[in-house]
Structure 1
Amino acid sequence: MNAVIIGATGLIGANVLAGLLADDRYHKVLVLGRRHPLLAKDSLGIDKLSFIQCQLEEIPCLSIPIDIDHAFCCLGTTIKQAGSQENFIKVDHTAVIDFAKLIALNQSLNQSPNHNQAGVKLFVVTALDANEKSTVFYNRVKGQVQRDLSLIPLSKLYIFQPSLLLGHRAHQRTLEDIGQKFFAIASGVFIGPLAKYKPITGKLVADNMLAIAIQDKELVSDASLESKAVRIIDNKQMHRLVN
């Protein structure tokens, strides 16, 4: 199998990339991004990695030079990092949709006759409580992403909705850093109705993405997206699926 990933330098993406490179079932792994992933020369599976440097706004102009089985989108930022709501939308909505369209194009135009006819599976990270009608800007944008992804002709779309992410970042986000320290101590309170909000490590999100990619577990679809090709994996599911 072959895979492509965008957002490979982030908390979730770095773990997805490591998993792809370590898995012998993947023969080629293509990374799209502004910066080459920081990997040691002797990293496991590094010989099957290739990299296309690009700015996010250049995604619509790209072509993927190999047949793809699995595509992973791990893009994500904050308004503080982006500098404005407009720039946040460019990363967390526009670039995600552009990547999905690129994958759909690869699926329809670039598959060889001997390639897997099941089509490309796309795995995207959004967020817990994503809702296009939300009054919270962040949740609303994530909901709009999910809505717009469901309109793209993809063979299979898997949407992962994590709560607060735990794990070390190259550029730690201040509020998340404080939150990580607090929730690491108070994780026991997330039971019953609060279980859905339990913080989750970036590695566990990545492990779920990779496990579902390989095992193709049947999941409950989100009826609001009105498509059997769309699967939602929420935060609570991710805490138990790979255990």
Structure 2
Amino acid sequence: MIAAIIGATGLVGKSLLELLLDSDKYQKVYVLGRSQPHITAHHFGEEKLHYIACELDELHELSLPEPIDHGFCCLGTTIKQAGSQQAFIEVDKLGVLAFAKLLKRQSHPTLVLQVMSALDANPKSSVFYNRVKGEMEQELCQLHLPHVQIFQPSLLIGKRADSRTLEQIGQWLFNLTGFLFIGPLKKYKPINALQVAQVMVNSVQQASKSVSIINNHDMHNQH
């Protein structure tokens, strides 16, 4: 099978790329983005990586060398990193949709597209972040791709290349109070980025519905 991933330099994307390269299910892994990912040494996986340099606003005019079986979108930023609400929208909504449309153009009858979203994504939310994520999910479903799997993690745990103060505080608090996230609160329990990536790899092989939502609770239960 052939895979394509965008957002491979992010927290989940880095782990996911490693897993895809290690998997004997994929002959090639196309990586799209402005920066070439740095990967650890692989005994057979490194030669499977094919990097395509592009900006998000170039995705609409891009064509991939061959049909993609599984697409993985791990795009995600913060308003602080993006610089403005509009710049945030261009990554977390428009960038995601542009990648989805790129894959749709190939008309692969059994394509599976996985997309990272967020807990409490809702197009009607009064919270800007949640609303944009919800709008992205809503418009993604309207593209009518063969199989879409949307992942909604809570706070992601892991070492980022960039500093996100709120996430660092959240991870510190979780280390102190993690035992409290049981029962109904499990929905909000922070989750390790590698665990999310592993669930994504496992789930892509089991796609059956046109649209599936895998929430934070589901991901913890699959660990």
Aligned counterparts, 1:9-88, within 5 A: 9-40=9-40, 42=42, 44-88=44-88
**1:144–1:96 CA distance, 2 compared to 1 (3 A):** same
Aligned counterparts, 1:230-241, within 5 A: 230-241=211-222
**1:41–1:190 CA distance, 2 compared to 1 (3 A):** closer
Partner SS state of residue 9, structure 2: coil
Which letter maps to 1:233? Answer: I
- Paired residues, number: 223
TM-score norm. by structure 1 comes to 0.89
Q: What is the CA distance between 1:44 and its match in structure 2?
A: 4.8
Render the CA deviation track for 1:145-185: whole Å, top value 9, x for unaligned: 00000011311000000000000001121110111111122
Partner SS state of residue 163, structure 1: coil
Structure 2, unmatched stretches of 5+, are: none
Q: What is the CA distance between 1:68 and its match in structure 2?
A: 0.9
From 185, 188, 191, give the equivalent of 1:197: 188
Question: Which position in structure 1 is the counterpart of 2:122?
Answer: 131
Which letter maps to 1:238? Answer: M
- Give the distance between the partners of 2:207 and 2:122, measured in 1 at CA: 25
Question: Which position in structure 2 is the counterpart of 1:114?
Answer: none
Q: Over aligned residue pairs, what C-alpha RMSD do you find?
A: 1.3
- Give the distance between the partners of 1:42 and 1:211, measured in 2 at CA: 20
Q: What is the CA distance between 1:42 and its match in structure 2?
A: 4.9
Deviates more, 1:89-98 or 1:184-193: 184-193
**1:43–1:12 CA distance, 2 compared to 1 (3 A):** farther
Partner SS state of residue 105, structure 2: helix
Deviates more, 1:232-241 or 1:175-184: 175-184
Determine if contact 2:8/2:74 at 8 Å carries over to the other structure. yes
Q: What is the CA distance between 1:40 and its match in structure 2?
A: 4.1
Residue 170 of structure 1 pairs with residue 161 of structure 2: yes
Partner SS state of residue 71, structure 1: strand
Determine if contact 2:60/2:102 at 8 Å carries over to the other structure. yes
Residue 185 of structure 1 pairs with residue 176 of structure 2: yes
Partner SS state of residue 171, structure 1: coil
Partner SS state of residue 35, structure 1: coil
Which letter maps to 1:193? Answer: P
Q: What is the CA distance between 1:217 and its match in structure 2?
A: 5.9
- Give the distance between the partners of 1:44 and 1:175, measured in 2 at CA: 38
Partner SS state of residue 162, structure 2: coil
- Give the distance between the partners of 1:43 and 1:78, measured in 2 at CA: 35
Which letter maps to 2:128? Answer: F
The percent of aligned pairs where both chains have the same amino acid is 52
